[in-house]
Amino acid sequence: MNDVVSYKRDGEIGVITINNPPVNALGHAVRQGILDALAQGTADDDAKALIITGGGRTFPAGADIREFGKPPQEPSLPDVINQLEASKKLLIAAVHGTALGGGMEITLGCDYRVALDSAKMGLPEVHLGLLPGAGGTQRLPRLIGAKAAMEAIVAGKPMKAAQLQKMGVVDKVVSGDLMAQALDYARQLVAKDAPLRPVRDLEVKAESADIFSDFEKSIARKSRGFLAPFHCIKAVQAATESSDFEAGLKRERELFAELLKSPESAAQRHVFFAEREVAKIPGIDKKTAKRDIEQVGIIGAGTMGGGIAMNFLSAGIPVRVLEMKQEALDKGVALIRKNYEATAKKGRMTSDQVEKCMALLDTTLAYDDLSEVDLVIEAVFENMKVKKEVFGELDRVCKKGAILATNTSTLDVNEIAQSTKRPEDVIGMHFFSPANVMKLLENVRGDKTSDEVIATVMALSKRIGKVGVLVGVCNGFVGNRILHKRQHQATQLVNEGATPAQVDKVLFDFGLPMGPFAMADLAGLDVGWRIREGLREDDPANAPEYNWLDALAEQKRWGQKTGGGVFDYAEGDRTPRPSDVTAAEIEKYRKEKGIETRDVSDDEILERCLYVMVNEGAKILEEGIAMRPLDVDIVWIYGYGFPVYRGGLMFWADQVGLDKIYAKIKQFHEEAGEDEWKPSALLEKLAGQGKGFGDL
Ligand code: T1G
């Protein structure tokens, strides 16, 4: 045994306890410790049965993910579980917290399972691009049937104790003191000479021959580009094809090994750690004091303001919304209620929960009513003059220590902060539309924003269910700044001869939820057009040139909301269809510009759209707008649907190879001469050293 696994006997019951905080991950020392403790319990003649449990906050939450990619160390987890299952003494798993992955697989190697009512168990390996590799794909079907096991493993979601009891996985659900009741239960089993129940001895048959192919078809769209879901199905199918358990374990191990070395799993394991790492701010100790946020003020009850408010209401935080007119307030409140009721209709919340959220919502027409809020977020019109007026009022009415946040997506947070007497309390909180749905929250640190405000807002991000990423001040911060470069390349490619549909297909096939033009139609062509028109009025010399997208916007072809934009949309159908009007405008533009069109290859489309993003990401890192490559990865995964099985923009670039990307960027720069193709110095350096962003 060792200090991460202990054995002690309580009366006639031996207890094996795993103590490897924070989540009792099943690293090498734990696996060895379990076997040592099992040997001790087996040799202990006074122990009539054995309990295995987790110390601290949870039963083991799985294999130690950090060990993957390193040389495997015996004993392997499958071997540990096989030895638990072969024990001649009754083995009872006592579960609390979240028994996930290998943790749940350990329980399946036991004869009985007792769980605390608040406990959850699940096999989430699929989200790491893996499959349950310690017998889970062979034992779970034997307990709950092939179809249910396949669905549970591909969903990869934790399941509640009561649900697991109904499914036949958990034998007893207890509340209160788990250990006392697990000991009791073990004694009862001993007293009635309960039999050993190795799960491997149970039979499993597929409910029908088609369940596997039918299920594959049903997940095809959602699992597009992923590898693991389909390997999970194959592993469960193997369990039904032979009663030889060892043969099934062998097939499981083969499929697991294929996944473990796949780029998809490396990417998904990177994302697992990256989405936790983003919450850690270098230079700001996690013990930095955080302010209490008990009441929030929102300025603006429009789509954004209402969506932002919902995040806090759903987290149980009272919100006071301010508008200039009662009618706007009424409209905003009605929209919030409508959104909640739509969620309730989908069964994702109860009507009581809707009323609870709505009861936390308050409205006002007077700034003075915001004097007691702890945080104010403004979501007013994207105009610096308007924002400064709002912040001037907030500076006047808000209490000392209140955090003043702007939801701006393009304006200079420093300039806004300077319009107050408390720049250290000003921060950007850039929500993505729809604000109550999108997980990404770019928290924008101004030059004077205090560490305490940053720490408070980063912790608050998690509390309201967002993935908060701390970014610096520049136009578009991280996400939109990269997006604008891609949109520009996409438009250039069409000017040169590609079609919008071709560009969109290349990026959709890469794994993005939609292509650049379908995305523009979703956001609304009028949004960009108004900004460009504003620039053409204010600063004609430097404004972006007029192009076919402007021509479409002028005809009120604003996208999905007007039934047509770059693409046409049939009534009630969001499927983008190529439009003759757009083709004519593109043709007209090319003629005016004297452009000699050419065939543009899919490869060129992919390289130009994605490499310009990588180059901009590198410049963002150079300028310190993003702190680490993983911050850029997380922004694009959670803000724009960058495929998680590619790990994020910078992780993917490393997998392609920076030398290859740099060479192409240099070529594009020579050909186009455009500033955005000027290679990033950081990229040039890393490529020259044969390194990747991951080496930073
Ligand atoms: N391995 C290594 N580190 C882990 C870990 C794991 N399995 N789980 C969590 N951590 C770290 C995490 O990085 C963070 O570290 C800290 O623990 C707290 O985590 C053979 C192959 C259990 C629900 O996928 O879902 O078993 O940032 O911030 O919000 O079939 O952690 O503090 O340095 O997430 O309370 C399968 C993954 C593995 C479960 C707790 N298991 N973990 O959530 O805390 S593969 C999983 C979680 C496997 C076998 C297969 C969550 C949690 P740091 P946290 P939390």
pLDDT digits (tens, 9 = 90+) for 140-180: 999 999 999 999 999 999 999 999 999 999 999 999 999 99
Question: Same structural domain for residues 249 and 340?
Answer: no
Q: Is the pLDDT of residue 209 over 90?
A: no
Structure tokens at 368: 């003075």
| Ligand 1 midpoint to CA 230 (Å) | 23
What CA–CA distance (Å, rounded) separates 101 from 158?
A: 10
Q: Given 453, 471, 489, which residue is the final one in a domain?
A: 471
**122 close to 103: Cβ distance less than 8 angstroms:** no
Question: Same structural domain for residues 20 and 79?
Answer: yes
Question: Same structural domain for residues 115 and 195?
Answer: yes
Report the CATH number that the domain containing residue 204 is assigned in CATH. 3.90.226.10
Q: In the structure, what pLDDT confidence band is assigned to residue 288 with cuts at 50, 70 and 90?
A: confident
Quick check: helix, strand or coil at residue 14? strand
- Closest ligand 1 atom, residue 127 Cα: 24
Q: What integer pLDDT is reported at residue 226 of this predicted model?
A: 96
Q: Bridge-partner residues for 442, per DSSP?
A: 430, 469
Question: Same structural domain for residues 459 and 520?
Answer: no
Task: Tell me which of 20, 23, 277 to substitute to probe ligand 1's pocket, judged by most ligand atoms within 8 Å of the beta carbon.
Answer: 23
* 327 in active site: no
- Closest ligand 1 atom, residue 22 Cα: 17
Question: Same structural domain for residues 445 and 461?
Answer: yes
Residues with CB under 6 A from ligand 1: 22-23, 25, 61-66, 77, 98, 100-102, 105, 124-125, 128, 130, 132-134, 136, 273, 276
Q: In the structure, what pLDDT confidence band is assigned to residue 410 with cuts at 50, 70 and 90?
A: confident
Closest CA to ligand 1's atom 38:
62
Question: Same structural domain for residues 300 and 359?
Answer: yes
272 domain-assigned = no
Closest CA to ligand 1's atom 30:
132
Q: Given 261, 282, 315, which residue is the final one in a domain?
A: 261
* Mean pLDDT of the region 219-235: 97
Closest CA to ligand 1's atom 29:
276
DSSP symbol at 422? -
What CA–CA distance (Å, rounded) separates 573 from 586?
A: 24
Q: What integer pLDDT is reported at residue 535 of this predicted model?
A: 82
What CA–CA distance (Å, rounded) separates 3 from 276?
A: 27
Q: What integer pLDDT is reported at residue 181 of this predicted model?
A: 98
**628 close to 693: Cβ distance less than 8 angstroms:** no
568 domain-assigned = yes
Q: In the structure, what pLDDT confidence band is assigned to residue 545 with cuts at 50, 70 and 90?
A: confident
**664 close to 607: Cβ distance less than 8 angstroms:** yes
Quick check: helix, strand or coil at residue 101? coil
Q: Express each pLDDT in 610-654 by its tens digit.
A: 999 999 999 999 999 999 999 999 999 999 999 999 999 999 999
Q: What percent of the chain has pLDDT over 90?
A: 92
Closest CA to ligand 1's atom 10:
23
Q: Express each pLDDT in 325-367 by its tens digit.
A: 999 999 999 999 999 999 999 999 999 999 999 999 999 999 9
Q: What integer pLDDT is reported at residue 378 of this predicted model?
A: 97
* Mean pLDDT of the region 477-492: 96
- Closest ligand 1 atom, residue 105 Cα: 30
What CA–CA distance (Å, rounded) separates 249 from 134?
A: 8
| Ligand 1 midpoint to CA 561 (Å) | 42
- The string of DSSP codes covering 312-357 is HHHTT--EEEE-SSHHHHHHHHHHHHHHHHHHHHTTSS-HHHHHHH
- Closest ligand 1 atom, residue 63 Cα: 26
Count of Cβ atoms closer than 10 Å to residue 678 Cβ: 13
Question: Same structural domain for residues 125 and 247?
Answer: yes
| Ligand 1 midpoint to CA 23 (Å) | 7
* Mean pLDDT of the region 530-543: 85
Q: How many domains does the structure of the chain reveal?
A: 4
Where are the alpha helices (H) located in 448-541, listed in sequence order? 451-463, 479-496, 500-510, 516-523, 525-538
290 domain-assigned = no
**574 close to 475: Cβ distance less than 8 angstroms:** no
- Closest ligand 1 atom, residue 64 Cα: 1
- Closest ligand 1 atom, residue 66 Cα: 2
Question: Which one from 125, 442, 607, 676 is the annotated catalytic residue?
Answer: 125
| Ligand 1 midpoint to CA 614 (Å) | 29
* Mean pLDDT of the region 214-222: 96
Question: Same structural domain for residues 578 and 617?
Answer: no
| Ligand 1 midpoint to CA 63 (Å) | 9
53 domain-assigned = yes
Predicted TM-score (pTM) of this structure: 0.95
| Ligand 1 midpoint to CA 645 (Å) | 18
476 domain-assigned = no
Q: What integer pLDDT is reported at residue 641 of this predicted model?
A: 96
- Closest ligand 1 atom, residue 78 Cα: 20
Lowest mean pLDDT among 228-232, 354-358, 399-403, 525-529: 525-529
Question: Same structural domain for residues 317 and 388?
Answer: yes
132 domain-assigned = yes
DSSP symbol at 199? G
Report the CATH number that the domain containing residue 613 is assigned in CATH. 1.10.1040.50
Q: Express each pLDDT in 16-59 by its tens digit.
A: 999 999 999 999 999 999 999 999 999 999 999 999 999 999 99
DSSP symbol at 679? P
* 67 in active site: no
| Ligand 1 midpoint to CA 131 (Å) | 15
ipTM of the complex: 0.98
Q: What integer pLDDT is reported at residue 3 of this predicted model?
A: 86
- Closest ligand 1 atom, residue 124 Cα: 24
* Mean pLDDT of the region 436-457: 97
What CA–CA distance (Å, rounded) separates 515 from 567?
A: 12
Q: In the structure, what pLDDT confidence band is assigned to residue 1 with cuts at 50, 70 and 90?
A: low
What CA–CA distance (Å, rounded) separates 696 from 682?
A: 10
| Ligand 1 midpoint to CA 29 (Å) | 17
Which segments within 68-158 are labelled E, that is strand? 90-95, 98-100, 112-116, 120-122
Q: Is the pLDDT of residue 321 over 90?
A: yes
Q: Express each pLDDT in 568-588 by its tens digit.
A: 999 989 999 999 999 999 999
What type of residue is 279? A
Which range marks the domain in which residue 671 is found? 599-624+628-696
124 domain-assigned = yes
Q: What are phi and psi of 50, to 5 degrees?
A: -125, 140
Task: Tell me which of 18, 26, 65 to substitute to probe ligand 1's pocket, judged by most ligand atoms within 8 Å of the beta carbon.
Answer: 65
Report the CATH number that the domain containing residue 300 is assigned in CATH. 3.40.50.720
Question: Same structural domain for residues 40 and 138?
Answer: yes
Average pLDDT of the chain is: 96
Q: Given 426, 456, 471, which residue is the final one in a domain?
A: 471
| Ligand 1 midpoint to CA 98 (Å) | 10
| Ligand 1 midpoint to CA 9 (Å) | 30
* Mean pLDDT of the region 498-516: 97
576 domain-assigned = yes
Question: Which one from 105, 151, 275, 442 is the annotated catalytic residue?
Answer: 105
Question: Same structural domain for residues 45 and 178?
Answer: yes
Question: Same structural domain for residues 648 and 659?
Answer: yes
* Mean pLDDT of the region 492-520: 97
